[in-house]
Structure 1
Amino acid sequence: MFQSEFTLDKQYFQECFDESVSFSQHHKPKYGLIGFLLVLGSLSHYLLEQAYLGNFLFVLAVIEGVSFYYRRPWWVARQMLSRASGSKVVLKIDEQGINAHNPYRAFQLQWQEIDNVIETKKGILLEHGKYRQYISRQALNNETYAFILQQTKK
């Protein structure tokens, strides 16, 4: 059995975002949507002479671009404002599975519930159902890391 503790701080949240965003469906900007809004805004503004509608669509396109550009700081800020921010997480890994808990939330994964394990540069992503759970390598020693990979390949 392995047990470790780590703190949910800004550095951990930034690492979690950086390591998991490339595996999500939101890792690329929505160029098509931005272009579509710009075209509709231009048509509304110049052909239909509806300046308010055209300007509204232009602003929506800008907001979409800005929201993609600032998605990391926005996500980290939301996590930092949560109750769990700054709390200690106790991570336990044994023959049954992975158990992590802090004063505000707990999760337990049995080995057979894990569908896929994705190794990243700084940790691992555990996929179970439609959810992903990130565990930093800083919280694991080499034996435990190898144990997780071995258990999930069964």
Structure 2
Amino acid sequence: MYTDELFIQRTCDLARLGGAKVSPNPMVGAVIVADNKIIGEGYHQAYGTPHAEVNAVKNVKPQNEHLLKKSKIYVSLEPCCIQGKTPPCTDLILDQEIPEVVISALDRSPDVNGKSIEILKAKGVGVRQKVLPQLGKQLSQPRTTFVTQFRPYIILKFAQSKDGFMASSDQK
């Protein structure tokens, strides 16, 4: 028996495939599971293109489309609920009548930040959140830093000597 954690791990693996091509959007992966089997998966491939949830639904084979109404969609980041270059992913989930959503991390951008969960729950969709949240947060950290602190996400690595210098005085 597979677990929610295993499917969330798969969404994060898929999300990484988007890499820098999705910027300024976050890297997101999605997996659709019915009867404990993956029937569709996708990731956000590039800025301005369909989101992970859309690609996952598109990858469901025609003979499995009827399973969407009894499936779970796993996402590495809370689905969007705003109209941008693409329609809201919450609308897609509701249109496809997917009864349950499992989320790794919340989208901390001010336009979303839990609103998708409220929308889905209000329409009767089951929502489970914060499954392996550290993985989803790690993937979305560059976007979160950008939209909440208005600066780029930067990692700096350097080495210094025990006395606090970067190099000895006789080195260049």
For the criterion TM > 0.5, the same-fold answer is no
TM-score scaled by length of structure 2: 0.19
TM-score scaled by length of structure 1: 0.20
Q: Which has the higher helix share?
A: 1
- Which has the greater radius of gyration? 1
Report which structure shows greater RCO (CA 8 Å, sep ≥6). 1
